[in-house]
Amino acid sequence: MNIQKSISPRAWAELSLLGVIWGASFLTMRIALDEIPVLTVVLHRVFWAMLVLWAVVIALRLPVPRDPKVWGAFLVMGLLNNVIPFGLMTWGQLFIESGLTAILNATTAIFGVIVAALIFADERLTWRKGVGVALGFSGVTLAIGAGQLAELDPRSLAQIAVLGGTLSYALASAWARARLGGLAPQVAAAGMLTGSTLVLFPAAWLLDGPVDLTLTATTWGAIGYYALAGTAGAYLLYYRVLGMAGSGNLMLVTLIIPPVAIVLGALVLGEALNPNAFAGFGLLVLGLLILNGKIGRRRD
């Protein structure tokens, strides 16, 4: 089971920075969608980040795995952690606000608890975790609006797509634990992005057409941010914070991302969320704090 670590001021600072970086990524992805189609947006994200991370691997002289089974695991990880969630969430942002996308993204931790309990014997679903999961899903239902799910219009489908992306993230986490243990995190991240690039390049070419590099400066700026800072840099920072604070405390980053995305969406894109979205996020926060053990740990 995960051991909860105390979190130092430096770890808090880097955790907060990670939340801000990821929160701003939702804005830049939406900006890029104004000029380029969905799969091409995602291809830019994984391709440029892949190059940066392999440069880091080379600079650190880390061993590169040669076992075909490991590269097969990278391919599956790329699908589960990049291609599917990035694709679904990016498509969803065509129809819903970036701030709402970030709120729904926070359900990754909720699905993560469920998937881990189903797969790993040491991740049983305790009463405390069950309460956290129930509150989390109640918050999601409130944020979306139960009535909207029955309509199946583009907006409700977009919200379902984002939730599908968070489930894929949870499956990716379980896959990484089962198949990628023992690898340097920089190598695992670079390999995963390589796998996703190999899938996305032909898919984007077939569905979106040849990649057009004659883009506006604004679009290139957005790509540069979400690929280099929001993906490559964020992965490196993620593993650094994981080492300092532990996986339990790292879950708290999901509470920082939505407020950043909401504020930036309002300031830059003029987005305004329904009050239910904020109320739902409040319930989701409560559920995540219970899952994290900040509330109710003694009841296990």
**Tell me: the pLDDT tens digits for 87-143?**
999 999 999 999 999 999 999 989 999 999 999 988 888 898 899 999 999 999 899
CB 227 within 8 A of CB 19: no
> What per-residue confidence (pLDDT) applies to 299?
45
> What per-residue confidence (pLDDT) applies to 246?
80
- Which residues lie closer than 8 Å to 13 by C-beta, 6 or more apart? none
Tokens of 238: 């993620």
Query: Band of the pLDDT at 297, cuts 50, 70, 90?
Result: low
Higher pLDDT, 299 or 260: 260
Each residue of 227-253: pLDDT tens digit?
999 999 999 999 998 888 887 788 889
Each residue of 147-206: pLDDT tens digit?
666 677 899 999 999 999 999 999 999 999 999 988 999 999 999 999 999 999 999 999
Q: How far apart are CA 47 and CA 80, in angstroms?
A: 16
